[in-house]
Structure 1
Amino acid sequence: MRSFRKFYQLIVDIPLKKSVVLNYRYEVKAVIGTGSYGIVYHCNDLKMNENIVIKQLRKSKRRSKKELKQFENEISILRMLNHRNIPKFHEKFSQDGNVYFVMDFIEGDNLEDHIFLNQLTFNEKESLYFLYKLVDLVCYLHEHDIFHQDLRIPNILLKNHQPILIDFGLSKMINSDNLAKESILQLKRQDFYDLGEILLYVLYTTYASKSKKALPWTEELSLEKETVHILKRLLSIQEPYSDIKEISMDLQAVLKSKNWN
């Protein structure tokens, strides 16, 4: 049954071809990426003569209440956001039974490609400063009761050395009045843990292994004690952070206190 489902998705979820025009306005230029429930296209807005991005709910998922709800949830979240480092929502439309939404096209490779294809590296100071800018973005989300829940290097673009946050497909939007404090704290800590993973990832871009044996990061990386403290709290090895502003303050303090080379 599982193999049939995969085969069905391969047949049904074939991406739109180049030059297809959607909603009498958007011409498909290329497929940017595919996810568990969506296909993302780079398009040309023929009316405004500008690049935009369109996300399509996979055909195989459009009858699934869960996947449709997830798709609509991402639209609801993007409608609420107005930040220069987050793609702006434009409109939602349907065509031939398929559901789409339009958002800004932001030029730039994701962080994963920068690291693996362009050999981008971060020393300790650069890693902390990068995380500080990313935390500022996540702080904006949390202030709007939105939790990304999928903070990973493929979901971060770089433009003029600034992080751009994309893909809100797994994000949660909450109302503090009807959600237990424990549940809100759990959502916060998932974002914090992801930030810790990202910090580790960029720190490892300058690491050269001297041993064939894999060791814990605490033994492989030579870091300032303040950086270790931040990492351990983000990763819940020590007392976890409970507020995003506390992370920002710790990062700001270590960046100012050290005489970095």
Structure 2
Amino acid sequence: MRSIRKIYQFFVDIPIEEGTVLNERYEVLNVIGTGSYGIVYLCKDLKSQENRVVKQLRPSKCRNKKEVKLFESETSVLRTLNHKNMPVLYEGFSNNEYYFYVMSLIEGENLEDLIFFSKKTFNEKESLLILNQMLELVDYLHKKSIYHQDLRIPNILLKNDEPFLIDFGLSKQSVSVDPFQFPSSSLQNKHKDILEMKQQDYFDLGEILLYLLYTTYSLKNKEALPWTEELSLEKETVYLLKRLLQINEPYSTISEISTDLHAALKAKEKVY
């Protein structure tokens, strides 16, 4: 069944040709990314003469109401954002039952490419500083009841050593409810769900930090060891990582993480 689906996608999910004009405004320049349910294009806005990013829901997904709803949900989340380190949504449109939205182009370098292809390294202090900036972005989202749920190095762009967050395809937005209209059990379940979504974002931040820290690691032993043994870190950084990765008691708030993060940064400043 899975192989049949992939064959179907291969023939149906053909990227739009270069030079095609979408919505009588956006000229396709080239494909800049493909995901599990979207195709991303670099386009020229023929009205503003500026480059934009246009994301298309894969044609193979357009007949699936669940997939269309997820795409519309992503558009809705982007519409609520107003942060200089996140995309700006300009509009959404459909064309012959295909679905698109248009957002700003962020001129940054993908963190995954920087690490694996450009071999960029980050020492412990630099890694913690990037985490601190990422924590501010996550805090902004959580205060708007938005949970990214896909914080990974491919979804982070670096521009002038500053992280920009992209790809909100798996993000979820929690809607506030009236406590007088719902039984306590429902409210408890809702609070539990929110905590789980928060902690998923926290866990992902821990994995990002681990990726950054490993950029300066040189393999000494053929046998793979736990990161606690392979990496030489300040005890404050180890404590922070263990809680982010839920090895020890998971964090429940941004402020808890911030406190331990600043303690780790302070420990590194003493070393320097």
Question: Is the TM-score greater than 0.5?
Answer: yes
Q: Is the 8 A contact 2:148 2:172 kept in 1?
A: yes
Runs (4+) of structure 1 exceeding 4 A deviation are none
Deviations 1:68-111 (A, max 9, x none): 01101100100111000000100011112211000000112210
Q: Is the 8 A contact 2:110 2:154 kept in 1?
A: yes
> Offset of 1:147 from its aligned partner?
0.4
**Which position in structure 2 is the counterpart of 1:248?**
258
* Uncovered stretches (5+) of structure 2, i.e. residues with no partner: 178-186
> Offset of 1:254 from its aligned partner?
2.5
RMSD: 1.1
Secondary structure class of the residue paired with 1:241: coil
Taking the aligned partners of 1:98 and 1:47, their CA distance within structure 2 comes to 22
Q: Is the 8 A contact 1:139 1:245 kept in 2?
A: no
> Offset of 1:176 from its aligned partner?
4.1
Q: Paired residues, what number? A: 261
Whether 1:217 and 2:227 are equivalent positions in the alignment is: yes
Secondary structure class of the residue paired with 1:170: coil
Deviations 1:101-150 (A, max 9, x none): 00000112210011122211000000101100011100100010000000
Taking the aligned partners of 1:260 and 1:201, their CA distance within structure 2 comes to 22
Taking the aligned partners of 2:213 and 2:153, their CA distance within structure 1 comes to 13
Q: Is the 8 A contact 2:234 2:264 kept in 1?
A: no
Q: TM-score, normalised by structure 1?
A: 0.97
Which of 181, 185, 198 is 1:188 aligned to? Answer: 198
Secondary structure class of the residue paired with 2:169: coil
Q: Which is further off, 117-126 or 172-181? A: 172-181
State the one-letter code of the partner of 1:199: L
Taking the aligned partners of 1:260 and 1:143, their CA distance within structure 2 comes to 34
State the one-letter code of the partner of 1:216: P
Alignment of 1:80-99 (within 5 A): 80-99=80-99
> Offset of 1:36 from its aligned partner?
1.2
Whether 1:170 and 2:170 are equivalent positions in the alignment is: yes
Q: TM-score, normalised by structure 2?
A: 0.93
* Uncovered stretches (5+) of structure 1, i.e. residues with no partner: none
Q: Is the 8 A contact 2:236 2:263 kept in 1?
A: no
Q: Is the 8 A contact 1:121 1:202 kept in 2?
A: yes
State the one-letter code of the partner of 1:259: K
**Which position in structure 2 is the counterpart of 1:44?**
44
Taking the aligned partners of 1:122 and 1:4, their CA distance within structure 2 comes to 43
